[in-house]
C-alpha cells in the first residue's frame, strides 16, 4: 500500500497565475504560506517559522484556482511531487539542475468567512 497525500491550511502568497507551458495543458500556479510558532525555552519569547509551498493545479480545477487572490485563507490537498529544471549560472552559460517540490492539488477550498457567505449564492464554486 502507498499513500502520497498532503493537506495544508494557509494563506495564498500572490494572485494565482495561469500558465501555458510549451506542449502541455494549461496550469495554474500559486504559493501557500503556513506558519508554526512555539515558545523559546531559553528566552521565554515566542518564535515562529513560515514555510512556503508551491501549488500546481491541472484540469477542471484550474478555472476555480485562477480566482484565488493574495491573502485568501485556503485549504489545499493533493500529491507531493518533485521535479528538476535547468538553471543558467555564471556568464559561461553553465547550467545546474535545480530541484523543486510541488503539491499537485486535487482539492481546494476557500476558508475566508466572506467566501463562505458567498458560497450560498455560487453553490459549490469554492469547493472542487
pLDDT of residue 113: 75
Distance of CA 30 to the CA centre of its chain: 5
Q: What would the pLDDT profile of 21-60 be if each residue is shown by its tens digit?
A: 777 788 999 999 999 999 998 898 999 999 999 999 998 8
DSSP of 62-114: HHHHTT--TT-EEEEEEEEEEEEEEEEETTTTEEEEEEEEEEEEEEEEE--HH
Q: Residue 44's domain is classified under what CATH number?
A: 2.40.50.140
Q: Is residue 125 part of a domain?
A: no
Asked if residue 120 has pLDDT above 50, the reply is no
pLDDT of residue 117: 52
Q: Is residue 70 part of a domain?
A: yes
Q: Is residue 128 part of a domain?
A: no
The residues, any chain, with a CB within 8 Å of residue 91's CB and separated by 6 or more, are none
* pTM score: 0.78
Asked if residue 7 has pLDDT above 90, the reply is yes
Asked if residue 123 has pLDDT above 70, the reply is no
Distance between CA 37 and CA 5 in Å, rounded?
24
**CB distance 85 to 98 below 8 Å:** yes
Q: Is residue 15 part of a domain?
A: yes
Considering its fold, how many domains does the chain have in total?
1
Task: Give the CA diameter of the chain.
Answer: 57
Q: Is residue 96 part of a domain?
A: yes
C-alpha cell, 74: 485556503
Q: What would the pLDDT profile of 60-113 be if each residue is shown by its tens digit?
A: 899 999 999 999 999 999 999 999 988 888 777 788 888 999 999 999 999 987
Range of the domain at 73: 6-120
Q: Is residue 113 part of a domain?
A: yes
Q: Is residue 28 part of a domain?
A: yes
Asked if residue 125 has pLDDT above 50, the reply is no
Distance between CA 51 and CA 32 in Å, rounded?
8
Amino acid at each position: 500500500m502507498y499513500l502520497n497525500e498532503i493537506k495544508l491550511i494557509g494563506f495564498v502568497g500572490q494572485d494565482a497565475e495561469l500558465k501555458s507551458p510549451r506542449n502541455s495543458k494549461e496550469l495554474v500556479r500559486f504559493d501557500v504560506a503556513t506558519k508554526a510558532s512555539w515558545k523559546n525555552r531559553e528566552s521565554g519569547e515566542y518564535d515562529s517559522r513560515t514555510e512556503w509551498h508551491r501549488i500546481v493545479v491541472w484540469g477542471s480545477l484550474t478555472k476555480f484556482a485562477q480566482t484565488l487572490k493574495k491573502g485568501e485563507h485556503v485549504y489545499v490537498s493533493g500529491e507531493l511531487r518533485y521535479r528538476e529544471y535547468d538553471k543558467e549560472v555564471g556568464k559561461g552559460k553553465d547550467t545546474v539542475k535545480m530541484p523543486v517540490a510541488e503539491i499537485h492539488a486535487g482539492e481546494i477550498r476557500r476558508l475566508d468567512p466572506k467566501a463562505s457567505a458567498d458560497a450560498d449564492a455560487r453553490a459549490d464554486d469554492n469547493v472542487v
